Every structure is written in C-alpha cells, then in structure tokens.
Amino acid sequence: MVIQSKSLVSTSPGPDPVASIAEERANATFDPVDMHAVVEGSPEKAQKILELYQSLERDPILAPGFHDYELSRDENREQTTARINRMTQYVENEPYEDFWRRLNLMTVYDPSLGIRISVNLGLFINCIRGNGTDAQYNYWCVEKEARHMKQLWGCFGMTELGHGSNAAGVETTATFDEKTDEFVVNTPHIGATKWWIGGAAHSATHCVVYARLIIKGKDYGVKTFVVPLRDSRHQLMPGVAIGDIGSKMGREGVDNGWIQFSNVRIPRFFMLQKFCKVDRSGKVDLPPLEQLSYISLLQGRVGMASDSYRICARFITIATRYAVGRRQFKSDQREDEKEETQLINYPLHQRRIMPYLALTYAMGLGTDRLERQHAETVKNLEAAVAKKNEKAIYAALANTKSLFVDSAALKSTLTWLAESCITETRQACGGSGYSAYSGFGKSYADWVVQCTWEGDNNVLGMSAGRALIKNIQTILEKDIRIKGSTAYLSDAKEYLNRRYYLKREEQLTAIETLRALEVLIVRVAAAAAEKQEKLESWDAVSYERVLLSKLHAHHYLLETLFLATRKVQKPELSYVLSKVTKLYLLTNVLEAFARDFVSYAVIKPQLSLQVSSKLVPESCLEVRGQAVPLVDSFQQPDGFLNSAVGVYDGNMYENYFKVVKTHNDPTKTKAPYSLDLEDMLNRGSILSRARFENDTEASKKLSS
C-alpha cells in the first residue's frame, strides 16, 4: 500500500469526483454560455445577470456564505438589515431595472432580504401607485423618498388574523369623522388584528392599511389608507400597537409583525383615492375600473414564478453535480466498470432528477415570457389610462385578464413544483442533502411560504380554472372564438368529439402534445362546466379548477419552450433543446397527468403505459449525457449556489469536510454541556441515589 500526500494524506486511493465531472464536461456538445443566453431569453439579459453575479460574489455584505445557514433569528434579522442598508447604495445609483434584477437574484439565497425590500418597494409603493393619485404617489414615494428606501419604510397591511385569502373580508374599519375631516382607523376585535405584516415589527414607518370605509354608518367595502406607524424617532404613533409575530418555519430575517389600531386618526387625504374619492362632506365617488387597482399585485406573482425558475436551477445544479461525483453500489448494467457506479447512471436516479432539469428549462423560458408579457401589459394599460382612451383601456383590460389567468396558473403551479424539486433533489443527495451546508434545508424552509402568500396556491388555481371553465361555457354556448392566452379553447367543439387523440409513440412530439393538452383541458373544462351548471356550484368543481390551472400552466411552458427551440440558430443547441423538450413533455406533462389523459380518452392506456415503462427512461438517458453542461448553462457560480456539495469542480468531499471543520472548530472536543453528560454517565446506583432507603437494611429497621 502506497501512502500518498496530495491535499490530504491517503493510505489507499479515495474517491475522485473531480475526474468524474471533468469527464462530463469533456463530452459536452455545446457551449453553456450560448445556452445561458437561450434559457434567459436573450444574450443581453444573460450578460447582465453574470455581471450582477460577479458584483454579488465580491460584495463583503451581500455575498452569501455558509455562516448564513447557522444564524439565530436575531443574527438573521441583523444580517438582513445590514444587507438592506447596503442595497440602498444601489437603489439610488443603478437603473431601476438592474436593481430589481439584482434583488431577484439575491432572493434565491436570501429570500428574507428579497421580501423585506419587495414589501416596501413592491407592495407598499405599488399599492400607492395603483390606488393613489399622482400627487399621493409623488408625495410619499418621490418627495418623501420611499422609493429609495429613505425616510419612510412602508409595509402592506392587508392580511388579518382572521382574513388571509379573502382580502375583501377584512374587518379593520376606517370611519369618516366629518367634524374633523379625518378617518378613524380601528381594529374592532382580535380577528381584525393585522397579521404577518412584513416589516411591521421593527422596520416600517408607514403602512398601507386595507380597511372598510365606513361613512355615516354605511360600509363602502375595503379601501386603502396610508397610516403612519412610527414617528421620526421611530417611536410608535399613538393608538398604534405593534408586536413581533415571532418565530417562523423560515424567512427568519423578516420582522413580520401584528398591528392593532385603537381609533387612530389620519387626515382624509391619507386615503388612496385614484378610484374612490370621499369629499369634505363624506360623499363617496366610486368610479368604475376599480378592478385596475389589483393589477399592482400581479408583479409579485410574476416575480414568484421567476423565483421558482431560479431556485430550481440552483438545486438541480447541485443535485446533478452530486449525482455525477457520487458513486454507490455497482449497477448490473455496468459490471465492467472498476469503480462503483455514479448515481447519475442509475435509471431510477435519472428518473428522479432529469425531469426537474427539463422542467427548469421550461420554467426559465416560460417565466421570461411572463415577465415580458407583464411589462407590456402594464405599460399599455398605463398609457391608455394616462391618455384616458377608453377603447385602448378596454383593449388593455382584455390582455390584463390573460395576465391574471397566466400569472395565477404559473405562480401556483411553479411554486408547487419548485417545492417538489427542492424536496426531490435534496433526497437525491442522500444524507448530504440534510446537511445545512448543502443549502437545501434553509431554502426549503424559506421557500414554501410562496405556496401560501400573495394568493394561496389553491385559491389562485381555482381562480385560473374558473376563468377557463367560463371561457368554455362562452365558446360552447355562443359558438364564438376567443382571444388571449386561452385562445386554444376555441376549438372546444371539435376536441370534445374526437376519441383517443394520441395512439402511437411517433405522435408524442411537442406540437402534438400541445394539442393533446388542449384537448384534455377542453374536456376537463367541459365536464366541469356541466357539473357546475347541474349543481349550481363553483365550489363543487374546485378540484377540476385547480387541475385546469396546472394544465394551463404546462401548456404555457410547453408552448414557450417549443417556440424558443425553433428560433435557436445553433444546431448543437437546438438538438439538445429538442431532447430537453421531449423529456419535459413526457414526464412533466404526459406522465404527471397520465390518469387524466387516459380517463378523458386523450391518450390510449397502452400508450400511456409505454410512456412510463419505455419512453421516459429512454428520454432520461438521452438528456443524462449532457446533464452537466445543461446545468452549467444556468451559470450560477459557486458563491451563489452556496452549497458544500454542489461546487463547479466537483471536489465535493474535500470541500464539504473543509466547510464542516471551518464552521465547527474540532479543537473543542467537549460540548458546553459536557459536565452534565459526564455526571449522568458516572452517576451512582439507583440504591445510592435513593439514599439506600429501600435496601434490605432499611427494610429491616423500618419493619422492626
């Protein structure tokens, strides 16, 4: 046996994951930098993202590190605050679009930071912009500098302890006092306590409060009011009670708070009054188009869909590199190999992670499209409103409806899928996935609230599904074609009559699968429409509504992926992308919804079985060959992945061990509680601990 000293001394050869990953890269058929530009939507965007990564990985305060996984709640809050402080340097100095991109990227590793800033610059300011007059926006956001995270810090007072999803049901009241020309904001009971308010516990100076407008005893429904919470000395305003909501599953860096108002008075002109106006005498003017105010909430949903893409990219990168470097057992398909088999060469392992790799590509392109769709829709709507062009407003509103459906379907479907992706990739890294330093634990705990907030996934799914069913009802009843992102429903009549759309393996192309999805959506929606009409209840078809929302989301992704692949110039890229598309549609679409495809007679059972038993494994194997370059194409650097086992060069064991030793000083061989433990081990006998009161001698004495 030859003892060797490289970075460490070995008395026999150890694992060599670095060689394994190098081999993968040697077999790459395309350049990840090229592919990065494809998956991000454009070379310019890809370039900007890399510049931001570089800026972040260098920044002493903004850069992530393994210590992030060990922070207590207090330390977490402090770190997040320091990062916010640092981010104020950028918000004033770089283009707003770049700043948001920076924030979105940082959200992947520091979601607490992301949401603390988003609540202020996103929800608070968007609420003022969406519901307030220009003067109100200018006053608080520009003049008082809120948009630069300066002077004011805003929070978003919608949710109450008793009302989350049903925002129209909030019970905080804002009662007009004609005598003083003020609104009196009040929390009538515990259920109306503002709850979960991000930034309220310690940061916010102001809150946009969703409260019922009450004038002369009449309830005009929920409106929005700017309510100062803290004075310039950061002391609570009179009548304002605020507390910390305490420990959470994740996002411990956010100071979520509860707020109770006890007859807090604000001037009348603190009500946001772009739409609803109250004059000096308490007369209410409620113009139409109030629905427009809700468009300001869509930015958050679009952002969460994009977040889903980036978090999946992060963890599929880690899990793929791990699967290449890690060897375990010997596969009976590779008995000629000397070493144990790499995880990635097991069919089951491929089946566990490759579908998420394909999904991530679909997510990247799909959410890029959604971001652009959102920007354009908002721009058109704002332009039309500014010009007061009614026809243009209604045209823009139609697009807004598509955006509502698309963003609701994508936000809910993708945040759920991201949750599954983190879970599966963690399990695919075995024990290492459970180490905090691999990154899964914190990210999962931080992530999952995305499925609940800013539109609970089931509620959003139901809303998107309801729109689809209503569309079908219109199409079938009125025999018309519709526009927008659900235009494919227009062929409903034809789709309802054709049996077994897909019968043969050769039919399983992107274009045919898109069509099959459309047929399925039409059939599920038509059946649901019938049930809804028969039972006169939308709640009776809620299950079908959420199903439809998921199917629509996949339709959106598949369509985008397909079209993007067609546009790609370099043949080596489009070849690989076509394989990725195939894997995506086989697993995430045809297999994931196999029961529905079969039951609704869109695919023959025999073909569905073939998908599962033959086509999926074949497709996994095809993508597996380029798995490493495919994840390299996400271009997330080590400092950003922040995972001990997901490093670029594959040197996971040495790196992991180094992280463990750096963060857990081995010279401390005893725990702080060691004395207690040692005392316990070295305790006396039961008899001695019972002072010998129950030994035979005592027994003798006591019985005498």
- Residue among 69 and 556 whose Cβ is closer to its own copies: 69
Residues 52-71 interacting with its own copies (rule: CB under 8 A): 69-70
- Residue among 87 and 365 whose Cβ is closer to its own copies: 87
- Residue among 78 and 97 whose Cβ is closer to its own copies: 78
Q: Which of 19, 386, 563, 609 binds its own copies (CB under 8 A)?
A: 609
CA 400 – CA 453 distance, rounded (Å): 21
**501 near its own copies, rule: CB under 8 A:** no
Using the structure block, give the residue that is written with the tokens 């810090």: 153
- Tell the smallest beta-carbon distance from residue 449 to its own copies (Å): 5
CA 428 – CA 424 distance, rounded (Å): 6
**379 near its own copies, rule: CB under 8 A:** no
CA 86 – CA 532 distance, rounded (Å): 53
- Tell the smallest beta-carbon distance from residue 647 to its own copies (Å): 15
Q: Which of 43, 65, 191, 267 binds its own copies (CB under 8 A)?
A: 191
Burial of 144 (0-12, 13-18, 19+ CB in 10 A): middle
What x/- string results for residues 213 through 232 when contact with its own copies is judged by CB under 8 A? -------------------x
Q: What is the DSSP string of 683-694?
A: ---HHHHTTTTT
**333 near its own copies, rule: CB under 8 A:** yes
Residues 654-693 interacting with its own copies (rule: CB under 8 A): 654, 656-657, 659-661, 663-664, 666, 669-674, 676-678, 680-683, 686
Burial of 477 (0-12, 13-18, 19+ CB in 10 A): exposed
Burial of 661-694, coded b for 16+ CB within 10 Å and e otherwise, reads eeeeeeeeeeeeeeeeeeeeeeeeeeeeeeeeee
Residue type, 237: M
- Tell the smallest beta-carbon distance from residue 42 to its own copies (Å): 31
- Residue among 341 and 626 whose Cβ is closer to its own copies: 341
Among the listed ranges 42-50, 219-227, 235-243, 279-287, the one in contact with its own copies (CB under 8 A) is 235-243
- Tell the smallest beta-carbon distance from residue 259 to its own copies (Å): 11
Which among 40, 171, 371, 454 is annotated as catalytic?
454
Residues 532-551 interacting with its own copies (rule: CB under 8 A): 536-540, 542-544, 546
Residues 80-109 interacting with its own copies (rule: CB under 8 A): 81-82, 84-85, 88, 92-93
Token pair belonging to 468:
């689809």
Q: What angle do CA 203, 205, 209 make, to 5 degrees?
A: 105
Q: Which of 182, 307, 406, 419 binds its own copies (CB under 8 A)?
A: 419
Burial of 338 (0-12, 13-18, 19+ CB in 10 A): exposed
Residues 291-320 interacting with its own copies (rule: CB under 8 A): none
**332 near its own copies, rule: CB under 8 A:** yes
- Tell the smallest beta-carbon distance from residue 76 to its own copies (Å): 11
- Residue among 517 and 573 whose Cβ is closer to its own copies: 517
Give the alpha-carbon dihedral of 688, 692, 696, 702, to 10 degrees.
Answer: -170
List Cβ neighbours of 591 (8 Å cut-off, separation of 6 or more): 611, 612, 616
- Residue among 80 and 626 whose Cβ is closer to its own copies: 80
Q: What is the DSSP string of 69-116?
A: GG--HHHHHHHHHHHHHHHHHHHHHS-HHHHHHHHHHHHHH-HHHHHH
- Residue among 163 and 374 whose Cβ is closer to its own copies: 163
- Residue among 471 and 532 whose Cβ is closer to its own copies: 532
Residues 13-42 interacting with its own copies (rule: CB under 8 A): 13-15
Helix (H) or strand (E) run with residue 549 in it = helix 542-567
CA-wise closest residue to 631 among 371, 190, 316:
316
198 in a labelled binding site: yes
**615 near its own copies, rule: CB under 8 A:** no
Total residues found in the chain within this entry: 704
Token pair belonging to 611:
């998908």
**203 near its own copies, rule: CB under 8 A:** yes
246 in a labelled binding site: no
Residues 424-483 interacting with its own copies (rule: CB under 8 A): 426-427, 430-431, 433-437, 440-442, 444-445, 448-449, 451-453, 456-458, 462
Residues 238-277 interacting with its own copies (rule: CB under 8 A): 241-250, 255, 258
Residues 349, 617 contacting (CB under 8 angstroms) = no
List Cβ neighbours of 587 (8 Å cut-off, separation of 6 or more): 354, 355, 358, 359, 616, 619
* Cα four-point dihedral sign 111, 114, 116, 119: negative
Among the listed ranges 19-27, 312-320, 331-339, 558-566, the one in contact with its own copies (CB under 8 A) is 331-339
Size of the site for its own copies (CB under 8 A): 149
- Residue among 331 and 380 whose Cβ is closer to its own copies: 331
Residues 503-522 interacting with its own copies (rule: CB under 8 A): none
Compute φ and ψ for 225, nearest 5 degrees.
-135, 140
CA 203 – CA 113 distance, rounded (Å): 13
- Tell the smallest beta-carbon distance from residue 348 to its own copies (Å): 4
Catalytic site includes residue 454: yes
- Tell the smallest beta-carbon distance from residue 391 to its own copies (Å): 34
CA 549 – CA 593 distance, rounded (Å): 13
- Tell the smallest beta-carbon distance from residue 575 to its own copies (Å): 26
CA 86 – CA 107 distance, rounded (Å): 15
**177 near its own copies, rule: CB under 8 A:** no
Active site residues: 454
List, as residue ranges, the binding site: 159, 198
List, as residue ranges, the binding site for FAD: 159, 198
